[in-house]
Chain A
């Protein structure tokens, strides 16, 4: 039984359009597919074309159509033009390189490229140019090249674009097309011109040799462009009053590629570019398209400065255009040129800033990026006002970028510290939750370094906290500052603005509130707990603080728990160290000055811990006082030092000897010391370092005894032990023995240590070292080296009155004391003088 004739495509479309649901549509399509399949099986030539057309439509809707691929090939092989048309279309839509079927087309295409009818040839070129695989291209490149030289403009233009595809697939064949390009540009037909320019562009982009070869075409291109502009109305190519704008744009693009980096070519095009820029009608979009391309070209080639200014002015005019497309395009181009032509772009700054208020999202983003690029020392105040206003009102996607940009700009160009802090406050309060995580340590560092603004800053941050505790970065910075400068807050010392009356309890209320609030993240809670702890040295309400700290000792959050437990221990066992540990932070130095992103992270703390490897000058900062010892001692290792207060002179019998250090040349001048300062606000790290294994390890390492001095019959030995209960203190016992025949009288052992050490000399057993090793003098020295500092030991003997012994300065270096825990690593005592007087009998 014969099937009814398959329906036409338009019937199918009409039918499918009537479907109201997806399911209905699917049903219709499936029915039709089945009909088409059976029709294909019947090998019906008449209706194949129709069926494939329908199949293509269904394919476009998203339904599988692969069973039609072979049918397309049959259509291509047919003699009828209508069949071929659909067949090739089907091939372009359904087939691609991955199907093996497409290779079968090669022969057909070859034949069709030589067909008598130009339209058929055109079809073949089109298909080859769309989906030809590398093998096909290789096979058929010769044919394409032949067609490129034909005088038939219809074919020539298609052949040019087909050649582009061939070159893309098989780059080696590029040379083959070179001779054919010789007179492509002398064509009158715009279609051919256009595609030839495309072909030339493709060749230039792919090969630098071709590029230099084609540079000689610049005069010709300039001429063509000139003709386009100067010629009158030509109905063939007119688009809104401009003659073939597409070709103009394409030529300009090719000129751009040819002129880039080449002085001669750039000079040859200067005139025409200026002409296009000034003569083109700007009332319609078409004109603006050409101007846009011109501007891009001017910017890329080596144009003279007058031309560049002209280009930027065009862009400025674009910015004022009502058409948002044009404004968008202008902002994009300005962004590209702002680096190179900064001053020229600055002139349009106010317009750009106005674009921040535009309704279109992409325009706003461009304007924001451009504004940041234009900020400099002169316009910072005005720009920042606009940018802050923008930050208030912009979409959340922008806020993070905007905030970071503002921070960077403020850092580079801040006119005053007060302004800087104000700006930061503003950003934190308006967009606090969008600020990036790494800004928090940078801000903290900035605040620390603006010493005179501490009171003002902490006051403002406190007030901000009262208003809103949901924005984590703001809360973190605020709690850190309150912990640090709480005393300033309570004492009402602010100079910059009206000081507020705050009591200690109120401050602690706020901080405790942060701890319990659901809005606070674990990191924030850590900050506030530490802040509370720090206030224990600044406030007087110790009991309250102790209570809070002990409560959190059993917190579920492990981090909080550890902190609380260690703070508790600080209260109980190490109370004498607490003031030193929780002291005010010194000024932090940056490792690099180009932006806040250079800080080094350690310990995964959110605070920045900075390793400063520069030699700190010993005058200006309090931080460096503690490093004078390194001056003297010239340790070569970078040992992380825990910064504490600079202790006063060690209260010991040997105190006055410190002065003697002045005339000692110990290590031959100040050596460049790798001073490391690791300021921390998190005592857990501190305590970890100090007590190595947590506080509960009382096992002190045994340090072997050593001989400190052995000369002229006098032997001095040190023995070491750790003191209980404080393992940080080393107890050194001196044994002095005398193997000479004479007693040594008036034996006084003195010691001087660097300033960070604390030294206690207990009274010796006697002044006289008996002869013949009959006895010894013992003396106990207690040394506290809170910094893990290596130092040299240099004993000196100075015999003032003993005639037979000359005074010698005999420096030697003690082997460093072996420690198995990190407590006192490498502490070497510095013994300044040993006074010996031997009685002369």
Chain B
């Protein structure tokens, strides 16, 4: 299962964080700092999977943004790697440009895709459907 999902920029600042497993609020900051350190230090030739404490990290870089997913031992890393890409594609489809200003909407999208650490939906249209409905309601 997925333990957490983070979006961090190159300077190490967290842009989005979602935890699917209870982590104390105080510990989150240090966890994020460690994770970010681990991923930012990786060179280009190194693979996208990092062994971190007793679980694994899958990270992917998109321009200035890093998306890091923490997964348990038994999860298929390549599959999660694809999931990250899928997520980015969905974001891309909905937000034409910079996404970080509507954090709540990103959370909504994420909730449609991942629930309780497992994948719910991967079809872009279906993920965005409630959001589009919400938008329509807000307009009216």
Contacts and interface: CB of A to CB of B under 8 A. Distances in A.
Given A81-B137, A126-B111, A195-B118, A245 B79 contact: yes
Interface string A430-472: 0000000000000000000000000000000000000000000
Given A56-B103, A329-B77, A246 B46 contact: no
A114 B134 CA distance: 19
Contact of A198 (B49, B86, B118, B138): B118
Contact of A289 (B29, B47, B81, B138): B81
A420 interface: no
Interface string A72-90: 0000000001100110010
A23 B85 CA distance: 35
B62 interface: no
Contacts of A81: 134, 137
Contacts of A86: 104
Nearest to B89: A239
Contacts of A57: 103
A158 B17 CA distance: 21
Interface string A690-705: 0000000000000000
Interface string B66-94: 00000000001111011100100000000
Interface in A52-70: 53, 56-57, 60-62
Interface in A311-366: 324-329, 359-363
A164 B120 contact: no
A249 B79 contact: yes
Given A239-B86, A362-B50, A164 B130 contact: no
A195 B120 contact: yes
Given A89-B107, A285-B81, A293-B76, A191 B120 contact: yes
B22 A96 contact: yes
Given A130-B116, A164-B118, A327 B47 contact: yes
Contacts of B107: 89
Contacts of B86: 239
A329 B48 CA distance: 11
B120 A194 contact: yes
Choose among B122, B130, B138 the residue with the greatest number of A CB atoms under 10 Å from its CB. Answer: B122
A9 B118 contact: no
Contact of A10 (B101, B111, B130): B101
Interface string A127-165: 001100000000000000000000000100110011011
Nearest to B86: A239
A801 B46 CA distance: 98
A85 B108 contact: yes
Contacts of B77: 325, 329
A195 B130 CA distance: 18
A285 B78 contact: yes
A253 B107 CA distance: 28
A161 B118 contact: yes
A497 interface: no
B118 A289 contact: no
Given A119-B134, A249-B76, A293-B76, A360 B45 contact: yes
Interface string B106-127: 0110010001101111110110
B96 interface: no
Contacts of A325: 47-49, 77-78, 81
Interface in A497-528: none
Contacts of A85: 104, 108, 134
Contacts of B129: 154
A239 B85 CA distance: 10
B83 A246 contact: yes
B16 interface: yes
Contact of B115 (A10, A158, A249, A293): A158
B103 A9 contact: yes
Contact of A9 (B104, B122, B130): B104
A190 interface: yes
A20 to B, nearest CB: 12
B121 A62 contact: no
Given A82-B138, A161-B115, A13 B122 contact: no
A196 to B, nearest CB: 11
Given A10-B101, A85-B134, A329-B77, A359 B45 contact: yes
Given A158-B120, A191-B120, A239-B82, A363 B101 contact: no
B123 A289 contact: no
A450 B14 CA distance: 62
Contacts of B137: 81-82
B43 interface: yes
Contacts of A96: 22
B102 A292 contact: no
Contact of A362 (B29, B49, B119, B125): B49
Contacts of B123: 190-191, 236-237
A631 to B, nearest CB: 56
Interface string A252-294: 0100000000000000000000000000000001101100110
A122 interface: yes
B29 A62 contact: yes
Contacts of A285: 78, 81-82
B2 to A, nearest CB: 12
B51 interface: yes
A198 B107 CA distance: 22
A61 B83 CA distance: 25
Nearest to A246: B122
Contacts of B125: 236
B104 A56 contact: yes
A154 B120 CA distance: 10
Choose among B49, B104, B126, B133 the residue with the greatest number of A CB atoms under 10 Å from its CB. Answer: B104
A360 B42 CA distance: 9
Contacts of B138: 82
B116 A161 contact: yes
15 contacts: A10-B102, A60-B16, A81-B137, A85-B134, A86-B104, A89-B111, A157-B120, A190-B123, A191-B123, A194-B122, A244-B122, A326-B78, A329-B49, A329-B77, A360-B45
Interface of B: 14, 16-17, 20, 22, 28-29, 43, 45-51, 76-79, 81-83, 86, 100-104, 107-108, 111, 115-116, 118-123, 125-126, 129-130, 133-134, 137-138
Closest 6 CB pairs of A and B: A289-B78, A324-B47, A10-B101, A360-B46, A161-B115, A359-B45
Given A82-B138, A292-B76, 15 more contacts: A57-B103, A81-B137, A82-B134, A89-B107, A158-B115, A161-B120, A162-B116, A191-B123, A191-B126, A239-B82, A250-B119, A253-B76, A325-B81, A359-B46, A362-B49
